[in-house]
Amino acid sequence: MLQIDALTWIVTIGLVLGLLALDLVLAAVRPHKVGFGEAVAWSIGYILVAVAFGVWLTLAHGGDFGQQYFAGYIVEKSLSVDNLFVFVIIMSTFAVPEEHQHKVLTFGIVVALIMRAIFIALGATLLSLFSFMFLLFGLLLIYTGIQLFRHRDEDPDVENNVVVRTARRLLPLSTEYDGGKLFTRVEGKRVGTPLVVVLLAIGGIDLLFALDSIPAVFGVTDEPYLVFAANAFALLGLRALYFLVKGLLDRLVYLSAGLAVILGFIGIKLILHWAHVDIDESVPEISTPVSLAVIIGILVVVTVASLLKTRNDPSAKAHPGSLRGSRPEED
């Protein structure tokens, strides 16, 4: 079992909050269109921070925990790319001005970290009290993987999201942005700008992704500290990664199918672990090195196959996938 003292927890959380604060300050003080060079620099910086953390963890606590962290980080990073698809759809659906997309993404990351922290604490508690939760988490991931694979060529219906529909029904909203303001005045009345709906949509999407990503990362490590670190460092790089690859996302046509397979694989791993612990120790388990190799292998195959597909068929376009089918269009 990984022994992490209170000081290490405080330093880790402080590092994450410090990087978040830097993002928030940059978004508030200098709203601007993030260029390719800036996005590359930030992306490399966040990856180096995540790798440096993994190296320190390996040296301080051993290679097994280091492997668990890197496996969790890769799982969360790959799932976060699917987040980017949905973020792109939200930004385009609500025509968010480019100079304010930085602020929206930073808000989304803050909300995602808060939700994941809550789910990590809840998940760790449940797993420590009830070992059959491994079975439930495994079944949830297999179901999610099947649904994602079935609807891999679809986009989530942002306009019909329950959070968006509720906001439009309950809140007085304007149709025009007012800079980066959440609220403005129209004919003397205080109303919300479309930015309010965008932030609520991002928050709702974050909740759905947290429900899937936390069981997934618990499938490669059951250490709450590693689960938190893998999630935090993967999400911290999400803002820069959005601006870096948003023009390339359309080419990853097989990403949703690959993520569906990864979720199913981790679901099977969790079920085998439950059976090994609760039924019979002779039931084989899938080791962390095997998990890491399988996940990386799937991502490499998916990426190469996607690039080959779009090179041979330029009309092919990627989709983030959906957990349910699109509503049929009304006549």
The pLDDT tens digits of the residues spanning 137-190 come to 889 889 888 988 888 887 776 766 677 778 778 878 887 887 777 888 887 788
The answer to whether residue 49 is domain-embedded is no
The answer to whether residue 305 is domain-embedded is yes
The answer to whether residue 74 is domain-embedded is no
pLDDT given for residue 102 in this prediction: 75
pLDDT given for residue 212 in this prediction: 72
Indicate the average pLDDT of the chain: 82
What pLDDT digit, counting tens, does each position of 229-245 carry?
A: 998 888 887 777 777 77
pLDDT given for residue 329 in this prediction: 45
The answer to whether residue 12 is domain-embedded is no
Q: Which structure tokens are listed for 65?
A: 């925990």
pLDDT given for residue 324 in this prediction: 61
The answer to whether residue 57 is domain-embedded is no
3-class DSSP state of 2 = coil
pLDDT beyond 80 at 112: no
Cα-based distances in Å from 281 to 64, 139, 218: 21, 20, 20
Q: From CA 133, how far away is CA 274, in angstroms rounded?
A: 8
The answer to whether residues 215 and 137 touch, using CB atoms and an 8 Å cutoff, is: yes
The answer to whether residue 127 is domain-embedded is yes
Query: Would you place residue 12 in the very low, low, confident or very high pLDDT band (cuts 50, 70, 90)?
Result: very high
The answer to whether residue 229 is domain-embedded is no
The answer to whether residues 42 and 240 touch, using CB atoms and an 8 Å cutoff, is: yes
pLDDT given for residue 331 in this prediction: 38
Alpha helix (H) residue ranges in 219-254: 224-236, 238-245
What pLDDT digit, counting tens, does each position of 287-318 carry?
A: 878 888 888 899 899 989 998 998 888 888 77
46-60, 226-240, 262-276: least confidently modelled range: 226-240
Mean pLDDT is highest, among 14-23, 55-64, 119-128, 276-285, for 55-64
21-30, 223-232, 276-285: least confidently modelled range: 21-30
Determine how many CB atoms are found less than 10 A away from the CB of residue 190.
9
pLDDT beyond 70 at 326: no
Q: How would DSSP label each residue in 185-207? A: EETTEEEE-HHHHHHHHHHHHHH
Alpha helix (H) residue ranges in 62-171: 63-93, 98-129, 133-150, 162-170
Among 313, 138, 320, smallest CA distance to 212 is for: 138
pLDDT given for residue 323 in this prediction: 63
pLDDT given for residue 328 in this prediction: 44
Determine the structural domain holding residue 211 and report its residue range. Answer: 79-223+238-312
> Residues 313, 317, 321, 324: is their CA dihedral positive or negative?
negative
Continuous segment of H or E residues that includes residue 24: helix 6-29
Query: Would you place residue 70 in the very low, low, confident or very high pLDDT band (cuts 50, 70, 90)?
Result: very high
Strands 183-186 vs 189-192: parallel, antiparallel or unpaired: antiparallel
CA angle 85, 78, 56 (to 5 degrees): 135
The answer to whether residue 317 is domain-embedded is no
Model-level pTM? 0.75
pLDDT given for residue 247 in this prediction: 64
pLDDT beyond 80 at 258: yes
Domains in the chain: how many in total?
1
Query: Would you place residue 31 in the very low, low, confident or very high pLDDT band (cuts 50, 70, 90)?
Result: low
